[in-house]
Amino acid sequence: MDSICSVFGSLINWDVKSLLFFTVVFILTADYIKNRRPGSFPPGPRAFPIVGNLFTLDYTRTHESMTQLAERHGDVYSLRMGQLWFVVLNRSEVLREALVDQGDSLADRPDLPLLQEISQGLGVLFSNGNLWKQKRRFAISTLKHFGFGKKSLEPNILEEFSYCAKEFKSHKGKAFDSHLILNNAISNIICSVVFGHRFEYGDEKFRELISWFRKLIELEASIWAQLYNAFPLLMRRLPGPHQTIHHIWDSVKDFVRVEVKKHKQNWDPSDNRDSMDCYLSEISHSKGQADESFDEENLVVCVLDLFFAGSETISTTLRWAFRYMVKHPEIAAKVQAEIDEVIGTSRQPSMEDRADLPYTEAVIHEIQRMANIGPLSLPHATTREIHLGGYTIPKGVTVIPNLNSVLFNKNEY
pLDDT per residue over 108-128, tens digit each?
999 899 988 888 888 888 888
**Lowest-pLDDT range of 75-79, 167-171, 268-272, 273-277:** 268-272
User: What is the domain extent for residue 244?
Assistant: 121-320
Does residue 225 sit within a domain? yes
Does residue 343 sit within a domain? no
Does residue 334 sit within a domain? no
Q: How confident is the model at residue 149 (pLDDT cuts 50, 70, 90)?
A: low
Which SS3 state, helix, strand or coil, does residue 354 take? helix
**Does residue 216 surpass a pLDDT of 60?**
yes
Does residue 115 sit within a domain? no
Cα(3)–Cα(14) distance, integer angstroms: 16
pLDDT of residue 8: 46
The DSSP result for 267-309, as a single string, is --TT---SHHHHHHHHHHHHTTSS-----HHHHHHHHHHHHHH
pLDDT of residue 361: 96
Does residue 305 sit within a domain? yes
Phi-psi region for residue 96, left (φ > 0), alpha (ψ -120 to 50) or beta?
A: alpha
Distances (CA, A) of 6 to 13, 15, 355, 394: 10, 14, 92, 56
How confident is the model over 316-360, as pLDDT tens digits?
999 999 999 999 999 999 999 999 999 998 899 998 999 999 999
How confident is the model over 280-322, as pLDDT tens digits?
887 777 776 656 677 888 888 888 888 777 788 888 999 999 9
pLDDT of residue 321: 95
pTM of the predicted structure, to 2 decimals = 0.86
**Lowest-pLDDT range of 147-161, 213-227, 323-337, 368-382:** 147-161
Residue burial 289-326, b: 16+ Cβ < 10 Å; e: rest: eeeebbeeebbbbbbbbbbbebbbebbbbbbbbeebbe
What count of Cα atoms within 13 Å lies in the side-chain half-sphere of residue 13? 6
Does residue 145 sit within a domain? yes
Distances (CA, A) of 96 to 73, 318, 401: 19, 28, 10
Cα(176)–Cα(201) distance, integer angstroms: 14
Does residue 14 sit within a domain? no
> What does the pLDDT average to over 254-260?
89
> What does the pLDDT average to over 389-400?
94
Q: What percent of the chain has pLDDT over 90?
A: 45
Q: Which CATH number fits the domain that encloses residue 144?
A: 1.10.630.10
Does residue 54 sit within a domain? no
Q: How confident is the model at residue 61 (pLDDT cuts 50, 70, 90)?
A: very high
Query: Are the CB atoms for 78 and 69 separated by under 8 Å?
Result: no
Distances (CA, A) of 198 to 190, 194, 326: 9, 10, 30
How many domains does the chain fold into? 1
Who has greater pLDDT, 148 or 259? 259
Q: How confident is the model at residue 48 (pLDDT cuts 50, 70, 90)?
A: confident
